[in-house]
Structure 1
Amino acid sequence: MATQPARLQVPSGPSRHVYDAIVVGSQLGGALTAALLAKRKHRVLLIDHDGTGTGYEHGGYVLPYGPSITPPLKAMPLVEEAFTELGLTTTVQRSLRPHQPELQLVLPRHRVDLQPDPARRRAELVREFGDAAEGLFAALTTTASQHEESNAFLKEQPNLPPDGFFEAWGLKKKIGQHEGLEKHPRLSNNTPPGALLRGLLPFLIHLDEASSPLSLTRPLSQALQSPQRFPGGNEGLREMIVKRLSELGGDVLTRENSDSYVVEEITFDGARFSGVKLVRSDVVYRASCLVSAMDSSALRRLITDRKRHRSLLEHLDASTNRSLLFAVNWVVPANALPRGMGELLLVESEDVELRPLLIQVHPARTPSGQEDESLRVVCAAAFVPASVRDLGEEHMQVLAQRIDKELETLMPFTLPHRVLRSAPYLDAGGVRGSRLMPHPLYTFEAEAFLGVTGLKQRTPAKNILLAGREVLPGLGLEGEFLAGMRAARLVQEMLKKKTPTAG
């Protein structure tokens, strides 16, 4: 069956051709930038360009590109302030769904249900690990609150990443005032359950190798406090923000309201950004500044005069994708799942190259948006080298089969009842962007402040800003939102120096 993208209902297309700011790309930071600017009375256009929607359609179901974990808003206080400004805090809190249990650990000789109730959690650990349980319980409890020690620093809205000597000097001075930034996770990787829990980190951030205390501690702490699921994953969260953007008067170009929502070229006036030209359109949308909410490699392809804009391209080339998330979805009857199987599992795979596996289970969803409570989607994912994209479909089929084998081991009597098996990299070809990476891991040439920063938001083209996941990769989902919030502030600073464009 041919695959089709899931649909988002949005108003009709742009109301003008000239804006204060244009945001291009489908990453969360850009959507937040656009919504905040619209709330602050600026004229903004969001162009989807490379969006994938909340899932891909296959076999009559909307399936996820991979598992996703959303920390509670209270664990991201500065982000919560932005959502409050947009009037979305209550909506987010009501939409977030807890997993039952919060997290299930599957090791070769142990299965541990991490319940939210401390007494039940301690009893479960004692049952599985005996005398070692108290130390593990204490480490888990402490780790789940360690993000609070860096809250004060982030609430000061530091310039991350810093741009230039004076910002870097000021940032280092500010860092010295916060001792909590240098504390490593209390949870040690010297025990099998501790090592497995530390293996959750790549699913929470966008760094290929986290090594600093802040990148090791904060995202893991936030997730362990209460790992939740937003319907539709991060894309569902983005669609909620985009809807709010439209309600605030911002314009949106997406596949749902236009045949021309893909950028063909970024136009310049000398060294400065001037506008964007879309595929299958003669219109050039102009603005005082551009915010990129896509990966640097995608932005690079939109810059045609490579000689003139060499410094901008070199800025973008400082990021390298090393790993990507490869997922397999099974649609199965709910009553065919093993008894006691959790909704969020971290599995110590027997396949060393697929360690660990993150598995998320939730009701199957149809293209109409309805959930079928009689069926479950079991989404299993692991990180693999980014080079697998160059090895062809046959190699990816083998990868999918290896994950299938892990699922068969975990659910030994479920396979005969399987309704559908699907892998995004193999079965979502009808969706633009579906063969891009839903959760890439990067390395960077630039100095990483606190071990969490990547590409600088300001670029050599002074009115082009970055608000994607490569800005604060070591802070994961929170980092995407923080990049979007700072991009909105930087846009406002630019607009103060220049008379806003006339529509």
Structure 2
Amino acid sequence: MRTQHYDAVFLGTRTPTLLTAAYLARNGLRVLVLGQGTSEPTSKVGEVELPRNPTMRLALGSPATRHLLDAIGVTPSLKRRASIAPIAIPLRLPSRSLDLERDEALRARTIAREFPEARRAMAAFERRCRLAREAFDAYVDHGGTLQGRGFRATRALRKLERDAVFGGDPLHFDPADELRREPLLVEALELVAAFHSGRVPPASGFGLALAYERALEGAIRIEGGEGWLRRTIVDRIEAYGGDVRPRISADRILLEGKAVSGLRLRTSHEEIGASAVISGIPAGRLLEILPEPVEDSPTAALLRAPRPAFARHLLHVAIAQEGVPRGLEAELFLLPPGSRRALLGLHLTRTAESGGLVWFTVESLVPIADDDPAELRARVLGALREVFHFADEHLRYVHSPNDAHGVTDARTGEVVWSADPSVELSPMETRDDLPRRGAAGLLGLPTELPVDGLLLANGQCLPELGVEGELLAGLEASRRLLEKSGTARFSRLAPFRSRRW
């Protein structure tokens, strides 16, 4: 017997998933969030807290982000705690440095100094990116749905795709076409887009334009980090009558005919009723908990579509304070030279300071075949020597949650803090190669799946938009549920369920 019934059950506790759950709870639906094995956003090495996802960019300029944050009343607190670095995109290229400021005039001077031949082409690139972003924001701001369902939604989507900035062909829109004579600069911009979105380059023209515009907002540092934001959102969910169970997972989605009816929990085998399930976990993991009759269905075919192409390797390094170059305040994008191009690129984030040491989190994108942890660690450390010129002298500790070396002392090679349960081994996150479709090539997997009441709201729906894409997918899934909340399937009364708390 099912002892509880929820309007919506969310799988995964990533921040965009929690924000979507809070939005639905605020709108009167009873929600439950299950952890489904999602890692905590931080881990501890001694007394130092290190992020697992240092490149989370909230895209505060996005209408979707603003709408969700405003709806649950988090925006004022977030603005008080947020600070933005003056350098929007700090880049280190094989032959030069390129710091792109948030101020347009200063940015133009930097380009004129480092790439004088590309000055006009870069100005044209930025103009096209701005126009594409303005068209996209206006579309989303007016409630546009990227799936284009219904007459009005389809008409609005066609209007977006026919915008003058795309020249009538959004799938082949290339804001950087005049920059192709400067391949190093184009490669650097693709690198920024890759870390912004997690999408394997090259990005689509529309995706590159949006990623560049969001990156120009600058690295936003929040006092208390992502952990504070997550705790605040969880408090909102519970205040609105929802439940968050980060350590509990479901092992089966239950169906009645072709519609979702509930879930079975993994450890207790308790069955929970649900009118809808919104998945924030990767499609492959969702497929594992679908019932067997779905194995050969169109739903399964969609969920099998993603193919891993690259992986994200994570390395934490502690550098003595005196060994940190001046100006390395928040983050740095590093494009390795050709000899190390097996690393697609690196992104350094300054994450913590303790006892005269500065901790940096280093993300690198590597081909999926390169899975030797020791070799990856050596490659990344080799590339870092180009940033920290006396790395061998100032490097103190090295740790990767992706290999079994533990936290090692860089001077002696001895393992330290290996008994800390928070530094457990975790696999590298993969980056999928998804076919581009619809909405000027931005769409990956659909939000609505063929099973009624089963929705997808993860990074695979709009893979080129990163966190913004997850929030857009979550907002679209929320609208679908709110539209259906008055239908017969949602309106049936159960003794353990309430429409509004």
Counterpart of 1:381 in structure 2: which amino acid?
A: E
Task: Determine if the alignment matches structure 1 residue 353 to structure 2 residue 338.
Answer: no
Unaligned ranges ≥5, structure 1: 1-15, 256-260, 365-371
Task: Determine if the alignment matches structure 1 residue 330 to structure 2 residue 317.
Answer: yes
Q: Distance in 1 between matches of 2:123 and 2:58?
A: 21
Counterpart of 2:233 in structure 1: which amino acid?
A: I
Q: CA deviation at 1:47?
A: 0.8
> Which residue of the other structure, out of 269, 272, 275, is the alignment partner of 1:285?
272
Corresponding residue number in structure 2 for 1:301: 288
Corresponding residue number in structure 1 for 2:95: 109
> What do residues 347-376 of structure 1 show as CA deviations (whole Å, max 9, x unaligned)?
120211113222112324xxxxxxx48432
Aligned residues: 467
Corresponding residue number in structure 2 for 1:253: 245
Q: Distance in 2 between matches of 1:202 and 1:68?
A: 11
Task: Determine if the alignment matches structure 1 residue 380 to structure 2 residue 371.
Answer: no
Q: Distance in 1 between matches of 2:295 and 2:191?
A: 44
Q: Distance in 2 between matches of 1:382 and 1:155?
A: 34
Corresponding residue number in structure 1 for 2:414: none
Q: CA deviation at 1:217?
A: 0.8
From the superposition, tell whether residues 362 and 97 of structure 1 become closer, same or farther in structure 2 (CA, over 3 Å): farther
Counterpart of 1:495 in structure 2: which amino acid?
A: S
1:276–1:286 CA contact under 8 A, matched in 2: yes
Q: Distance in 1 between matches of 2:130 and 2:221?
A: 20
> Which residue of the other structure, out of 269, 273, 280, is the alignment partner of 2:260?
273
> Which residue of the other structure, out of 175, 179, 185, is the alignment partner of 1:188?
179
Task: Return 421-430 or 55-64, whichever deviates more.
Answer: 421-430
2:17–2:474 CA contact under 8 A, matched in 1: yes
Corresponding residue number in structure 2 for 1:450: 440
Alignment of 1:4-15 (within 5 A): none
Corresponding residue number in structure 2 for 1:95: 81
Q: Distance in 2 between matches of 1:162 and 1:90?
A: 33
Q: CA deviation at 1:170?
A: 3.9
2:58–2:65 CA contact under 8 A, matched in 1: no
Q: Distance in 2 between matches of 1:205 and 1:483?
A: 14
Q: CA deviation at 1:453?
A: 0.5
From the superposition, tell whether residues 180 and 151 of structure 1 become closer, same or farther in structure 2 (CA, over 3 Å): farther
2:11–2:277 CA contact under 8 A, matched in 1: yes
From the superposition, tell whether residues 109 and 378 of structure 1 become closer, same or farther in structure 2 (CA, over 3 Å): same
> What do residues 26-70 of structure 1 show as CA deviations (whole Å, max 9, x unaligned)?
234422221111101111111111221122223443222354052
SS at the partner of 2:197? coil
Task: Determine if the alignment matches structure 1 residue 145 to structure 2 residue 130.
Answer: yes
> Which residue of the other structure, out of 423, 442, 447, is the alignment partner of 2:400?
423
Counterpart of 1:352 in structure 2: which amino acid?
A: R
Corresponding residue number in structure 2 for 1:224: 216
SS at the partner of 2:326? coil
1:322–1:442 CA contact under 8 A, matched in 2: yes
Alignment of 1:387-466 (within 5 A): 387-388=369-370, 391=371, 395-426=372-403, 435=426, 437-438=428-429, 440-445=430-435, 447-466=437-456
> Which residue of the other structure, out of 24, 29, 53, is the alignment partner of 2:40?
53
Counterpart of 1:383 in structure 2: which amino acid?
A: L
Task: Return 119-128 or 485-494, whichever deviates more.
Answer: 119-128
The alignment's C-alpha RMSD in Å is 3.1
Q: Distance in 1 between matches of 2:431 and 2:451?
A: 26
1:32–1:485 CA contact under 8 A, matched in 2: no
Counterpart of 1:249 in structure 2: which amino acid?
A: G
Q: Distance in 1 between matches of 2:181 and 2:78?
A: 37
Task: Return 237-246 or 81-90, whichever deviates more.
Answer: 237-246
SS at the partner of 2:87? coil
SS at the partner of 2:316? strand
Q: Distance in 1 between matches of 2:31 and 2:281?
A: 17
Counterpart of 1:108 in structure 2: which amino acid?
A: P
From the superposition, tell whether residues 308 and 345 of structure 1 become closer, same or farther in structure 2 (CA, over 3 Å): closer
Task: Return 207-216 or 468-477, whichever deviates more.
Answer: 207-216
> Which residue of the other structure, out of 200, 214, 217, is the alignment partner of 2:206?
214
From the superposition, tell whether residues 479 and 382 of structure 1 become closer, same or farther in structure 2 (CA, over 3 Å): same
Normalising by structure 1, we get a TM-score of 0.83
Counterpart of 2:440 in structure 1: which amino acid?
A: L
Unaligned ranges ≥5, structure 2: 407-419
Task: Return 177-186 or 350-359, whichever deviates more.
Answer: 177-186
Corresponding residue number in structure 2 for 1:11: none
Corresponding residue number in structure 1 for 2:63: 77
Corresponding residue number in structure 2 for 1:258: none
Q: Distance in 2 between matches of 1:196 and 1:236?
A: 32
Q: CA deviation at 1:324?
A: 1.9
Q: Distance in 1 between matches of 2:111 and 2:228?
A: 34
> Which residue of the other structure, out of 160, 176, 181, is the alignment partner of 2:146?
160
> Which residue of the other structure, out of 137, 141, 160, is the alignment partner of 1:175?
160
SS at the partner of 1:22? strand
Q: Percent identity?
A: 24
Counterpart of 2:344 in structure 1: which amino acid?
A: R
1:162–1:456 CA contact under 8 A, matched in 2: no
From the superposition, tell whether residues 209 and 113 of structure 1 become closer, same or farther in structure 2 (CA, over 3 Å): closer
1:206–1:470 CA contact under 8 A, matched in 2: no
Task: Return 466-475 or 95-104, whichever deviates more.
Answer: 95-104
Q: CA deviation at 1:321?
A: 2.3
From the superposition, tell whether residues 446 and 311 of structure 1 become closer, same or farther in structure 2 (CA, over 3 Å): farther
Q: CA deviation at 1:86?
A: 1.0
Normalising by structure 2, we get a TM-score of 0.83
From the superposition, tell whether residues 89 and 500 of structure 1 become closer, same or farther in structure 2 (CA, over 3 Å): farther
1:161–1:472 CA contact under 8 A, matched in 2: no
Counterpart of 1:76 in structure 2: which amino acid?
A: S
Q: CA deviation at 1:466?
A: 0.8
Corresponding residue number in structure 2 for 1:486: 476
Counterpart of 1:458 in structure 2: which amino acid?
A: E
